[in-house]
Structure 1
């Protein structure tokens, strides 16, 4: 069975990797789809985010990383994806993801599986990591080392 883990991943965090790694253990093939959310103020451009995630997931043989534009359900149909995997940190995440999963199912019949993020990383948010980094704080404990290097280079430059 083929699954997809969609998101903007700006930047990729240990929380994202928790969900991706667990999805890779559950499904034969996992596509990490790097998209764009017009409401977000990005630190990295889409190509950088794809490269970052490809590096961060390099040890997972059944994971590929691809950019996505347009509707997720259309991408899933084009890629032969059977199920969408979403991570949940808090109850508020569930409310949003439930509505999204119902819309996706109504449009195409695709199912969504929600995985609760491991408690050790549930507090991490990309938005907070970006803000801490932009203000000169150290975000090394929240992101993989390769991502940390890229963040330091980005905010220094």
Structure 2
């Protein structure tokens, strides 16, 4: 199973990439997951915490756990949305942190892209997108699973519609 398993290859690659980005984000006192969450909040197009969770491919309880340290750090606060919805929003400190995150992420991204070559990064993104779409098709053909967040995650675009 090992060498031919797509799941194993994807997990190993994801773990390596996460470590690479985490090393860069560490200078900001963040991990990649926290940086991605702050960037998703900064996008501003989500109308609820549940929508942010779906976009990130996590459930709402994981989102709540990930928000806590960001709230404690003064980067995020909660705002009442429509109806009973509560929406995480960035504080001024959080907005400044997102600017730092973007610069730091760009450096990490450029390092990996440089090693892949001019067309390599695009080819990898295309293949990952194809793989995600294939798995979404397989999931949609199966009976509903307990974790619906990953099934409905719009991972092909950011919340505002730009390709990720």
TM-score (structure 2 length as normaliser):
0.31
* Greater RCO, 1 or 2 (C-alpha within 8 Å, sep 6+): 1
The structure where helix makes up a greater share of residues is: 2
Larger Rg: 2
The structure where strand makes up a greater share of residues is: 1
